Amino acid sequence: MSEHNKYLPKAKDCQDYTLFVDRDGVLNQYIVNDYARKPEDLVLVPGIIDALKTAKRLFKHVILVTNQQGVGKELMTDSDLENVHLKIYNNLKNNGLNWFDAAFYAPYLKTENHNWRKPNNGMLLQGKNYFPNVDWHKSIMVGDSLSDMKLADSLDLIKVRIKNPQFNFDNQDFYFLSFADFIAHFKI
């Protein structure tokens, strides 16, 4: 059982919170049974830039954590993935936003059970190495998959699920149709 009540903080309290964000299905449209292998494959979700602007103002840290098994499957290289992320970076930059406070990806195959691959918590622990002031009880994981929610469970983070009709499970503290809807909850 959780040692803290699961609630979303008020906007004025978010500066004490760290926001961990999944990529596929949250920031960009999910590609069923495939990966954004090149920049033109990546389509940002409508409203994501404005939502990220608000998130960056609200939260102490905004950290990207994403499984990218396509690299491990050799469907794309680390360089290909960097080019995909460069598309996100350029979209943010062109809209007056900096990149995430940190960004981590796990290129490992699911069968490897690597500590960095969600639902394992290696990427979150690395985030805490970068930012020792991260408090797990004041952290939120936003994702669309069960592995995102299980990752949050491993460190008792608040679990925010973004709708993805491809996934059917019920293991979240809060459910929103999109990241923009989640951010709008704070009514800034």
- Residues annotated as catalytic are 22, 24
* DSSP structure string for 69-118: HHHHTTSS-HHHHHHHHHHHHHHHHHTT-PPPSEEEEE---GGGT-TTST
CA–CA distance, 21 with 40 (Å, rounded to integer): 22
Pairing of β 18-21 and β 139-143:
parallel
Distances (CA, A) of 110 to 4, 101, 106, 154, 161: 31, 26, 10, 17, 21
For residues 66 and 163, give the distance between their C-alpha atoms in angstroms, rounded to a whole number.
17
